[in-house]
């Protein structure tokens, strides 16, 4: 059997991918292994990866350059800050991360959040730009250290710190804020920088008549060109071409002296280590104020990066080492802060482009960083002509593309709770400080997760058509006497109020279900508060004349209930085996009278043999005779009465029940036939009425007294009480 070259290449590629995935380590490992990630990447590198990685790196660099300048403008930072961040983050995060495709650098949401954090402590970036840039570097270092701490603590399982609705709400809010923040550049207005929507709108409304028309036309032209090129071919670097065209127009037409605001000079130099020298311009109190915002920046950055990395990893079928990725993102941010940059994160747009361009390893990110650096060194003199209005047009497109309209519609259609979370986060993003909005979104996500995962599901179930399984069918008929409820989740102190409330609501919906069966195979934990809640449920149902039964107990829960003394409250005979539970319940709890005369449905398998009779032969007026308690006899008194020759014992059950067992010398006269066959009963003799448990005999006594029978008595507790006393009975199994 021969093997083709393409098959060999596929096998070699698979082997190389396996080597690259081999860096995934168990959760707990030495700190030093995080630092050795570049060695693992380079040792697994193969010459055949070089060309696709180079192509992907150059492709992403063409996209990253205009984005880096634009995102720096979002944070009101000089363009070189964005470019330095793009270079450093792309190289460091790629070498020390675990995702082959994740491309790190400035991102839109992070840049906007950085601006919000900085404006909270430094009101005007233009009054002292070096101090403003230094504060941005401090935020990057603090955010990076926080991420490194998460990696050191092996908190990689905290991949998603915020739910999808929170991210959608924040993203939409951020898109609105970015658009509002760039309107001033589009209109050529000198307006103070702010991250609050209401303040932006008020400032714009007060200065709208001062609009600089050349800036407006430049921004709209840039926006139109990007949209047009994207429609022609999405692979065209539309943003880079549009920004280059705008810069060319400013240079050729000499628009800068006419009031066209430009980004200004960009240094043709490598990122410099300015952290320690500039740190002296910031006092400890200021750094302390930046700490909380840095925490929000770190959280948002991890959310962005890990969501992008996981999505692409699932598509490619390779694994991520979450702790290593936390380390890579943390180290990249620390380096950005030390070398004239600002906070970075993983960009889904650039990462997806990286994958689609054919990247094979993390080296594609390294190549893109080097390409950005070379472009900056070579083209810096020309980049100074980029008009801020053109950057505004670029950011309008970016802000619009941030909004995932399909996902928003999906959330609105599927979940009211998640829709509320999404709208709440959107409102918080617009009205509150962004760092508070991010952290509150994280807290809201965690609270929602705890609520969903810890609160048990409580729902009534009924047998399926085969009577082999109990299923949730809210529209299916239920038994009027017996409710079967599933509890799925822990019965601990934080959940018992919810469970008790759900059981109470179920009883309100079905008030005649005074007997309750609780299926507890989904309960894996029951603390003392849960035990006390079950005891309260048992007491309540017994006060209603019913009872509570448990089935399918897990061993840990059963041991907890036994040790707490709960079995003494409920009775060990009330913990039933699944295979025999319904038989026991039909013998001990369910009243056949209700099944025969009052229930139209056959819910359980045991109901199928019960003959249903609609009781329509009631007397012409309602039975309203009150029973004299003295006429309800105990077993001993009934036995004495039966010994008298003038007493006739009448059993009002159904024939099937009667044949299975009845009192000696009893006469069968079904309750449904009582009115029609009343002539068969003597009016001058004592009548002792019996049934299964006393319910039907009580109704029969009222009916007979209503019909004029005066000497009528009943057996308290019925045939079951007779059997419990160990007295003789008659059965006819024929």
Residues that are catalytic: 691
Q: How far apart are the first and last CA of the chain?
A: 78
* Residue ranges in 384-462 assigned as alpha helix (H): 388-402, 405-414, 416-431, 434-454
Reported as half-sphere exposure (CB side, CA atoms, 13 A), residue 69 has a value of 30
Write out the two tokens for 357. 């361009």
CB 703 within 8 A of CB 620: no
Q: How far is CA 217 from CA 153, 205, 733, in A?
A: 53, 19, 100
DSSP E strands in 659-716: the ranges are 667-668, 686-690, 712-715
CA 548 – CA 12 distance, rounded (Å): 65
Provide DSSP, 338-378: HTT----EEEHHHHHHHHHTT--STHHHHHHHHHHHHHHHH
CB 712 within 8 A of CB 704: yes
CA 186 – CA 670 distance, rounded (Å): 91
CB 199 within 8 A of CB 244: no
CA 38 – CA 51 distance, rounded (Å): 19
* Residue ranges in 237-347 assigned as alpha helix (H): 238-253, 275-279, 284-316, 322-338
Let me know how long the chain is: 734
User: Residue 438: which residues within 8 A CB-CB, separation 6 or more?
Assistant: 113, 162, 170, 296, 299, 300
Q: How far is CA 185 from CA 129, 136, 247, 475, in A?
A: 18, 22, 15, 59
């Amino acid at each position: 059997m021969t093997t083709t070259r393409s098959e060999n290449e596929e096998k070699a590629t698979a082997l190389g991918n396996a080597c690259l995935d081999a860096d995934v380590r168990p959760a707990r490992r030495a700190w030093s292994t995080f630092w050795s990630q570049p060695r693992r990447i380079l040792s697994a590198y193969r010459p055949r990866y070089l060309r696709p990685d180079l192509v992907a790196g150059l492709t992403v660099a063409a996209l990253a350059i205009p984005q880096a300048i634009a995102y720096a403008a979002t944070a009101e930072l000089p363009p070189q800050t964005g470019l330095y961040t793009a270079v450093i983050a792309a190289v460091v995060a790629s070498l020390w991360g675990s995702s082959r495709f994740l491309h790190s650098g400035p991102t839109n949401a992070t840049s906007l959040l950085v601006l919000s954090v900085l404006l909270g402590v430094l009101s005007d970036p233009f009054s002292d730009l070096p101090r403003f840039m230094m504060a941005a570097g401090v935020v990057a270092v603090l955010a990076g250290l926080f991420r490194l701490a998460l990696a050191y603590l092996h908190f990689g399982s905290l991949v998603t710190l915020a739910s999808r609705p929170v991210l959608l709400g924040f993203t939409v809010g951020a898109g609105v804020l970015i658009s509002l923040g760039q309107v001033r550049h589009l209109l050529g207005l000198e307006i103070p920088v702010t991250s609050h929507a209401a303040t932006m709108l008020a400032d714009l409304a007060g200065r709208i008549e001062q609009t600089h028309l050349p800036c407006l036309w430049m921004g709209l032209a840039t926006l139109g060109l990007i949209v047009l090129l994207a429609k022609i071919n999405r692979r065209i670097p539309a943003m880079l071409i549009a920004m280059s065209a705008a810069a060319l127009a400013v240079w050729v037409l000499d628009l800068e002296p006419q009031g066209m605001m430009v980004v200004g000079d960009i240094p043709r130099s490598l990122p410099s280590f300015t952290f320690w020298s500039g740190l002296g311009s910031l006092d400890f109190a200021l750094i302390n104020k930046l700490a909380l915002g840095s925490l929000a920046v770190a959280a948002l950055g991890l959310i962005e990066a890990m969501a992008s990395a996981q999505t692409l990893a699932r598509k490619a079928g390779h694994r991520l080492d979450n702790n290593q990725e936390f380390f890579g993102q943390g180290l990249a941010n620390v380096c950005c802060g030390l070398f004239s940059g600002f906070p970075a994160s993983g960009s889904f747009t650039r990462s997806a482009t990286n994958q689609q361009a054919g990247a094979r390893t993390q080296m594609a990110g390294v190549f893109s960083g080097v390409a950005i650096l070379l472009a900056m060194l070579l083209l810096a003199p020309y980049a100074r002509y980029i008009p801020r209005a053109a950057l505004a047009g670029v950011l309008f497109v970016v802000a619009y593309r941030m909004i995932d309209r399909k996902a928003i519609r999906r959330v609105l259609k599927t979940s009211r709770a998640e829709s509320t979370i999404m709208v709440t986060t959107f409102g918080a993003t617009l009205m509150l400080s962004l760092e508070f909005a991010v952290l509150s979104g994280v807290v809201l996500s965690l609270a929602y997760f705890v609520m969903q995962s810890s609160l048990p599901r409580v729902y009534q179930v009924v047998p399926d058509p085969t009577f082999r399984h109990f299923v949730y069918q809210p529209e299916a008929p239920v038994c009027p006497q017996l409710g079967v409820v599933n509890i799925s989740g822990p019965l601990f102190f934080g959940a018992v109020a919810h469970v008790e409330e759900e059981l109470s609501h179920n009883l309100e919906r079905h008030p005649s279900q005074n007997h309750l069966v609780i299926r507890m195979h989904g309960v894996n934990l029951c603390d003392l508060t849960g035990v006390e809640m079950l005891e309260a449920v048992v007491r309540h149902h017994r006060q209603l004349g019913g009872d509570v039964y448990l089935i399918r107990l897990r061993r840990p829960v059963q041991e907890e209930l036994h040790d707490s003394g709960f079995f003494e409250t409920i009775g060990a005979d009330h913990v039933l085996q699944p295979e025999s539970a319904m038989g026991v319940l039909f013998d001990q709890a369910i009243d056949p009278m209700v099944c025969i005369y009052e229930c139209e449905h056959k819910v359980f398998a045991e109901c199928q043999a019960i003959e249903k009779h609609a009781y329509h032969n009631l007397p012409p007026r309602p039975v309203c005779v009150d029973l004299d308690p003295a006429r309800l006899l105990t077993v001993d008194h009934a036995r004495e009465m039966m010994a008298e020759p003038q007493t006739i014992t009448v059993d009002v059950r159904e024939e099937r029940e009667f044949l299975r067992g009845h009192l000696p010398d009893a006469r069968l006269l079904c309750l449904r036939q009582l009115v029609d066959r009343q002539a068969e009963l003597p009016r001058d003799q004592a009548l002792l009425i019996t049934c299964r448990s006393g319910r039907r005999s009580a109704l029969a006594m009222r009916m007979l007294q209503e019909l004029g029978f005066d000497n009528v008595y009943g057996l308290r507790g019925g045939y079951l009480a007779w059997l419990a006393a160990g007295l003789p009975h008659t059965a006819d199994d024929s």
